[in-house]
Amino acid sequence: MTIDPDRFEALCRAQVGFQKPTSRRECPSPKRMVRLLTSRCSAREGSKLIDHISLCSDCAGEFGFLTEALRSERILVGDIENWLGSSQGAESRRPYSLRYSWGLASLLAAFFIVGFLVLRLVVLRSPERYRAAPEARVALLEPVEQKVSRQSLVFRWHPVQGVEHYVVEVFDETLSPVWKSLPLLETRIVPPDQLARGLVPQKSYFWLVSAYFPGGDKWMSPLEEFTLKD
Amino acid sequence: MRPDRSTSEELEAILERFSASIRASILKFGLQEKGIDPEDVFQDIRLKIIKKIFSANKIRSPASYINSVVHSTLIDCLRKSRAQEEIFQFERLERLQQAGSQKDVGGVDTLIRRAIGEAVDSLIPSRKKALKMFLLNMTVEEIARSLNWTPIKTRTLIYRGLDDIKKKLKKRGIGHDDRS
């Protein structure tokens, strides 16, 4: 048996929509058909839809109608865009870059603000924040990175205006507290014998001074290192 | 700037062309018999588009606005038509029974048609998908756009699908005369 091309095509097309469903409950919704036609469904969903539509006569009719309607819609969109372009004057004919310049400017401004905040918070953060940084306004005089003898060990620092009292703290090399003075009014202190005897020669120690103000404010010096000779 | 009288007449002419093609599609697919009135469909779209274009708010993206109006109107009208069909389910079943009794009269064509159906179903998924959409009267460009393929790939899949069907029919003793 031989069939000619016309009959072959007619029979192929007759294959489409051959089944007449008894109910439309299983049919895909018109919305899903529109999604398929506007390439807004997954490949898997698309295959399922096409399998159903190509068999169901009612769906094939609706799909055919939607296909043609969307074809007409594309022409309508083109016509209306051309018409708007010719009737709405210079406003609508402004170049793309000008039309969107405000939007672009806002976007750039937002980028700069966010960038500045990140820079401020992350990059420009003081490395000395742990013990001192912004409040480090008490300058230490001695011992500062020095080797001193046990007998001559004296802590001295610059006076600060308006201070109520000072407190001196000493730490070992792991920054564990070793000693803390009582509140002091002077800007020097000879450590008690008990502390001086307890310090191990050739080991690093650190000290700092906290200045307390009547309003409750507190300034701290940076940490300074010292070592005992003997 | 608002369109003046002459330009609004141009808009009416554009919409009228669209109306004519929608009307023709509804009649072609027999949807009027299923309760879809072409005038209802068109008037809804026409009013929404005109109202938007002549409103104080400038229309920023005409394409997306027209798409959403047209799509929602088409979806609504098909939904209403289906709902109406369900009401007359009994009549529908009767019609189907009558049609069923008249089926399978032309024996040879029925056999070939079934053979074609089986051949189409045995194609690899991409060829089957492309061919079925082509048989649903979609153009190569429309199929390509819908499936996010290139037109060349789509065309190749359709041709190869048709070739496969011809080969499968030949195996079943149904030859194809390519002289035309």
This complex has an ipTM of: 0.85
Question: Torsions phi, psi of A147, nearest 5?
Answer: -100, 120
Say whether pLDDT at B152 is over 90: yes
Q: What is the pLDDT of residues B71-112, one digit of tens each?
A: 999 899 898 888 877 776 666 667 666 665 555 545 667 788
Say what the pLDDT of residue B6 is.
61
Evaluate whether residue B51 is within a structural domain.
yes
B15 & B82 share domain = yes
Greatest distance between any 2 Cα atoms in chain B: 69
Q: How far is A132 from chain B (nearest CA, A)?
A: 57
B66 & B129 share domain = no
Evaluate whether residue B55 is within a structural domain.
yes
* End position of a domain, from candidates B58, B87, B116: B87
SS (H, E, C) chain A: CEECHHHHHHHHHHHCCCECCCCCCCCCCHHHHHHHHCCCCCHHHHHHHHHHHHHEHHHHHHHHHHHHHHHHHHHHHHHHHHHHHHHCHHHHHCCHHHHCHHHHHHHHHHHHHHHHHHHHHHHCCCCCCCCCHHHCCCCEEECCCEEECCCCCCEEECCCCCCCEEEEEEECCCCCEEEECCCECCCEECCCHHHHHHCCCCCEEEEEEEEECCCCCEEECCCEEEEECC
CB contact under 8 A, A75 and B99: no
A22 & A103 share domain = no
* End position of a domain, from candidates B25, B58, B87: B87
Say what the pLDDT of residue A197 is.
83
CB contact under 8 A, A54 and B132: yes
Say what the pLDDT of residue A93 is.
47
Rounded Cα gap, residues B136 and A52, in angstroms = 12
* End position of a domain, from candidates B28, B53, B87: B87
Confidence tier at B7 by pLDDT (50, 70, 90): low
Q: How many domains does chain A have?
A: 3
Q: What is the pLDDT of residues A66-122, one digit of tens each?
A: 999 999 999 998 888 888 877 655 454 455 555 556 677 888 888 888 888 887 777
Share the mean pLDDT of chain B.
82
Q: How many domains does chain B have?
A: 2
Say what the pLDDT of residue A132 is.
44
Q: Which residues of chain A have pLDDT under 70?
A: 87-102, 123-136
**Domain boundaries, position A74:** 5-86
Mutate which: A7, A68, A96, vs B, most B CBs within 10 A: A68
Confidence tier at B147 by pLDDT (50, 70, 90): very high
Q: What is the pLDDT of residues B46-82, one digit of tens each?
A: 888 888 877 766 677 888 888 888 999 989 989 888 8
* Chain B residues with CB-CB distance to A50 below 8 A: 129, 132-133, 136
Evaluate whether residue B98 is within a structural domain.
no
**Domain boundaries, position B110:** 106-171
Say what the pLDDT of residue A137 is.
73
CB contact under 8 A, A47 and B21: no
CB contact under 8 A, B136 and A63: yes
Rounded Cα gap, residues B25 and A196, in angstroms = 103
